């Protein structure tokens, strides 16, 4: 049954978008123009502001926004054995009613992880490059006249199909 009056059920997710000042401080730290202490000061200020904002809107609990993390998942992934940082970047393009935004995230090298995995399982493991499958799937769906709202639901399945088909085609060669 859906409630019609407060209190409404809500889940509080920890990750929040990083403010511009914190993004700038991270970039300056990466470039070596500020040290770890100065980055920590910028993080502290951003955390204080975001906690205050949550208090101001009446939330009973608050999150630090995970502002000390590089990204919501990469800090965890880098702790996995066999996963290494690279200088390569992945760019994801976002678009909404207010405009467009490109987000750049670190890429991974997982070759060592694959070697560990091969020792753990008794089945063959084959790596396959999937970098362009989502873009290719988007093009196919657009060419097929699929509406934008429907494409969002179908793009991952289509990309997985393209990936599998390219692998199967390679076996026939």
Return the pLDDT at 108.
67
Nearest to 134, CA basis, from 108, 160, 153: 160
Average pLDDT, the chain: 83
Could you report the per-residue pLDDT of 136-173, keeping only the tens digit for each? 888 999 999 999 888 888 988 999 999 899 888 888 87
Residue 60 lies in a domain: yes
Its pTM stands at 0.48
The answer on 84 and 48 residing in a single domain is no
Could you report the per-residue pLDDT of 17-58, keeping only the tens digit for each? 889 999 999 999 999 999 999 999 999 999 999 999 989 998
* Bridging pattern class, strands 99-109 and 84-96: antiparallel
SS3 (DSSP) at 77:
helix
Return the pLDDT at 9.
66
For 112, the domain range is 72-124
The answer on 113 and 65 residing in a single domain is no
pLDDT exceeds 80 at position 131: no
The answer on 141 and 113 residing in a single domain is no
Residue 4 lies in a domain: no
* Interatomic CA distance for residues 124 and 154, integer angstroms: 29
When divided into structural domains, the chain yields a total of 3
Burial of 26 (0-12, 13-18, 19+ CB in 10 A): middle
């Amino acid at each position: 049954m859906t409630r019609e009056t407060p209190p409404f059920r809500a889940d509080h997710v920890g990750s929040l978008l990083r403010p511009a000042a914190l993004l700038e401080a991270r970039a300056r730290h990466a470039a070596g123009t500020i040290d770890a202490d100065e980055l920590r000061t910028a993080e502290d200020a951003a955390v204080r502001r975001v906690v205050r904002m949550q208090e101001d809107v009446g939330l009973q609990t608050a999150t630090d926004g995970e502002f000390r993390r590089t990204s919501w998942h990469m800090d965890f992934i880098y702790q996995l054995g066999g996963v290494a940082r690279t200088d390569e970047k992945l760019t994801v393009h976002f678009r909404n009613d207010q405009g467009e935004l490109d987000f750049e995230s670190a890429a991974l090298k997982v070759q060592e992880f694959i070697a560990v995995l091969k020792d753990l399982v008794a089945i063959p493991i084959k790596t396959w490059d999937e970098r362009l499958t989502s873009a290719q799937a988007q093009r196919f769906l657009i060419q097929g006249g699929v509406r934008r709202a429907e494409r969002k639901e179908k793009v991952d399945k289509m990309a997985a199909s393209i990936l599998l088909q390219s692998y199967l085609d390679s076996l026939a060669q």
